[in-house]
């Protein structure tokens, strides 16, 4: 007996293209979608699956809008970028350069981008503008490389680093003693831990007289996520001072984490403490700069401080160093003035003889 002939494919009917491939077209939410494959049965099956909502249709770049290109770019990086970075990308996608999101890629022009950047620069910082433009440029580079952006960006503003002085730190530590903020403050200003590293400390991170900083907790698109340290050098052992060791031992073991506070909670508690003490508001990260500043003022070598704080490079240490030296300018100026005053006094005294 001969092989039974397959029934012809209909609704949608595959149509052979000049290239030899087969195309099936279906309507989904008022949009005509084409599915092309070398096999007519595969094209037919995919088209039916898309129409039934069982398969997501991947648009060609020519039919994609800027917003769809950025969405697809974010999705493609979901497993390789940090949760915090993905969260930042999604925030940009929802809030920035919105006038561009509905433009189809072939219709996008440099003029559109420049105008959108100009408008954004009126209300947001140069860094925010550059971050938004960077995401747009990356998505275009992947899905529409024909358009190479040459946008004029707002001039960068120099960020003045904020470092709390020792009197401020002493007041904060005294006011936080016995509260949930005592340990986070000590870990930041004494050991130089990042906020995410403090959140990531679990009880097994305490290894005898040492604290093993080996992970971090950051806020992702769907909530807190545990991840590795920010850099390879971030995975480090720090000797625990006896005082901090005692404070850790006094923490209630009610969960997996030693400090069960979110980043938002730590910032709010720090702000309330500062208000109570009449101190300026600081970012929690500014407390970490204190650890570097103190080490430098004591003459601790940069290589040790860099390793202790988990820096991949000495760039931040150089920035802190300049700030630390600036705060001592009057002290150094007094020493120089005293030296020359003494010299002049000696010279004048000799001449009078």
Q: What is the pLDDT of residues 211-252, one digit of tens each?
A: 999 999 998 888 899 988 877 778 999 999 999 999 999 999
Domain 66-143 has CATH 1.10.150: yes
CB of 237 within 8 A of CB of 214? Answer: no
Of 78, 74, 86, nearest to 138 (Cα)? Answer: 74
Residues 330 and 328: their CA atoms lie apart, in Å, by 6
Task: Give the span between the Cα atoms of 91 and 84, in whole angstroms.
Answer: 11
Strands annotated E in 183-324:
206-207, 210-213, 216-220, 223-227, 236-239
- Comparing 309 with 161, the larger pLDDT belongs to 309
pLDDT tens-digit series, residues 170-203: 999 999 999 999 999 999 999 999 999 999 999 9
Q: What gap in Å lies between CA 21 and CA 42, rounded to an integer?
A: 11
Calculate mean pLDDT across residues 30-56: 81
**Between the CA of residue 78 and those of 101, 139, 163, 220, 267, what are the distances in Å?**
20, 14, 35, 11, 27
Task: Tell me the pTM.
Answer: 0.66
Residue 57 CA from chain centroid, whole number: 31
Q: Is beta strand 22-28 parallel, antiparallel or unpaired with respect to 31-37?
A: antiparallel
Mean pLDDT of 25-45: 81
Q: At 270, give phi and psi (nearest 5°).
A: -65, -40
- Name residues whose C-beta falls within 8 Å of residue 266's C-beta, 6 or more positions apart in sequence: 181, 184, 195, 198, 284
- Among residues 330, 196, 345, the alpha carbon closest in space to that of 259 is found at 196
Are 66 and 143 contacting, i.e. CB atoms less than 8 angstroms apart?
no
**More confident position, 34 or 109:** 109
CATH fold match for the domains 66-143 and 166-327? no
Residue 107, both tokens: 């219709």
More confident residue, 4 or 164: 164
Q: Does 5 have pLDDT greater than 50?
A: no
What are the residue ranges spanned by the domains of the chain? 15-57, 66-143, 166-327
CATH architecture of 166-327: Orthogonal Bundle (1.10)
In angstroms, rounded to a whole number, what is the distance separating the alpha carbons of residues 305 and 301? 7
**What is the pLDDT at residue 3?**
45
Beta strands, E only, the chain: 15-16, 22-28, 31-37, 206-207, 210-213, 216-220, 223-227, 236-239
């Amino acid at each position: 007996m001969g092989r039974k002939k397959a029934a012809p494919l209909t609704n949608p009917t595959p149509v052979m293209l000049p290239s030899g491939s087969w195309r099936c077209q279906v309507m989904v939410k008022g949009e005509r979608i084409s599915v092309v494959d070398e096999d007519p049965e595969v094209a037919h099956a995919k088209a039916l699956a898309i129409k039934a909502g069982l398969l997501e249709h991947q648009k060609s770049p020519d039919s994609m809008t800027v917003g769809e290109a950025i969405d697809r770019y974010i999705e493609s990086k979901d497993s390789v970028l940090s949760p915090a970075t993905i969260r930042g990308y999604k925030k940009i996608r929802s809030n920035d350069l919105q006038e561009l999101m509905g433009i189809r890629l072939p219709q996008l022009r440099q003029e559109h981008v420049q105008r959108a950047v100009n408008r954004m620069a009126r209300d947001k910082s140069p860094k925010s503008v550059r971050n938004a433009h960077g995401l747009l440029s990356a998505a275009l580079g992947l899905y529409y490389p024909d358009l190479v952006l040459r946008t004029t960006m707002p001039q960068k503003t120099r960020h003045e680093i904020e470092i709390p002085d020792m009197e401020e730190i002493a007041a904060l530590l005294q006011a936080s003693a016995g509260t949930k903020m005592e340990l986070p403050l000590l870990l930041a200003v004494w050991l130089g831990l990042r906020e995410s590293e403090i959140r990531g400390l679990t009880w097994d991170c305490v290894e005898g007289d040492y604290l093993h900083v080996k992970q971090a907790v950051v806020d992702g698109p769907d909530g807190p996520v545990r991840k590795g340290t920010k850099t390879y050098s971030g995975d480090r052992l720090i000797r625990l001072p006896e005082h901090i060791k005692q404070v850790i031992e006094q923490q209630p073991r009610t969960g997996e984490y030693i400090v069960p506070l979110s980043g938002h909670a730590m910032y709010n508690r720090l702000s309330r403490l500062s208000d109570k003490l009449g101190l300026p508001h600081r970012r929690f990260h500014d407390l970490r700069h204190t650890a570097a500043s103190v080490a430098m003022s004591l003459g601790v070598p940069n290589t040790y401080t860099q390793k202790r704080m988990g820096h991949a490079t000495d760039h931040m240490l150089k920035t802190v160093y300049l700030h630390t030296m600036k705060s001592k300018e009057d002290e150094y100026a007094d020493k120089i003035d005293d030296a020359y005053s003494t010299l002049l006094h000696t010279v004048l005294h000799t001449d009078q003889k």
